[in-house]
Amino acid sequence: MLYILDTADLNAIRHVNEFYPLDGVTTNPSIIAKEKTDFLKLVKEIRNIIGEDKMLHVQTTAKKAEDIVSEAKMLKEILGGEFYIKVPIDEEGLKATKILSEIGIPVTMTAIFTPAQALMAAKAGAAFVAPYVNRLDNITGDGVRVVEEIVCLFDTYGLDCKVLAASFKNSEQVHKSALCGCHSVTVSPEIMTGLIKHPLTDVAVAGFEKDWQGVYGDKKIPDLI
């Protein structure tokens, strides 16, 4: 399972990168716009924080295949490292994906809502497909079922494309996606930090502290060695 952070909030990225086994960061135009700051400085700073080895997915704003390819080349040149261009699925996006995969710029095909879209994206050469789990759930669809069917299709046809499940609103959606063999998830900082929380963990840790202090007071292990 790859854990990717779906935000351009630099403080949140710094925090999660320090404490969690983070594999990368995804953005989209809405996520970038939310920060209301200089685009280039922002994405460069994300790269600085996570380093060259972690994935950085940045979404194109172009519509025509040739322009998507040109934006991808520019961003790859500037951001370097493990860079992925996110491309929404449509005919121009597929054409761009075929070109980009041939020249070695990996594509994350995004705004995926059906297994049929995902299969086409994978055939065009996408490295990842991003199905939007919560947006499907919101219209009484079954986001996790869509993730499961995509995983199954990629296995059936031996396609070298990973599922990057996206658009989560709670930990349960993430956990159910993991259970069906989803390769990676992109989540908000709130969901990432929520994945390790449990009230019984807090109770257990408080109990350890209380019992220790009852015998050793404020002394720590190094004080006793």
Contact set with ligand E4P (CB under 6 A):
6, 26, 28, 110, 130, 132, 134-135, 166-167, 186
Closest separation in Å from C-beta 69 to ligand E4P? 20
Closer residue to ligand E4P, CB minimum distance, 70 or 134: 134
Q: Which long-range contacts (CB under 8 A, 24 or more apart) does 216-223 make?
A: none
The DSSP result for 107-121, as a single string, is: EEEEEE-SHHHHHHH
CA gap 56, 66 in Å, rounded: 22
Catalytic residue, from 86, 98, 176, 197: name it.
Answer: 86
Q: Dihedral, CA atoms, 27, 30, 34, 35, nearest 10 degrees? A: 40
Closer Cβ to ligand E4P, 29 or 181, answer by number? 29
State in angstroms the smallest separation of the CB of 168 from ligand E4P. 7
Specify the residue, 132 or 154, whose C-beta has the smaller distance to ligand E4P: 132
86 catalytic? Reply is yes
Q: How far is the CB of 135 from ligand E4P (least distance, A)?
A: 5
Closest CA to 99 of 78, 126, 80, 120: 126
Q: Which is nearer to ligand E4P, 79 or 166 (CB)?
A: 166
Cβ of residue 85: shortest distance to ligand E4P, in angstroms? 12
Q: How far apart are CA 81 and CA 83, in angstroms?
A: 6
Phi and psi for 174 in degrees, rounded to 5?
Answer: -65, -45
- Output the smallest distance, CB 175 to ligand E4P, in A: 17
Q: Which amino acid is at 25?
A: V
Please work out, in degrees rounded to the nearest 5, the angle formed at the alpha carbon of residue 96 by the alpha carbons of 93 and 99.
155
Q: Which helix (H) or strand (E) holds 150?
A: helix 143-156
Q: Which residues are catalytic?
A: 86
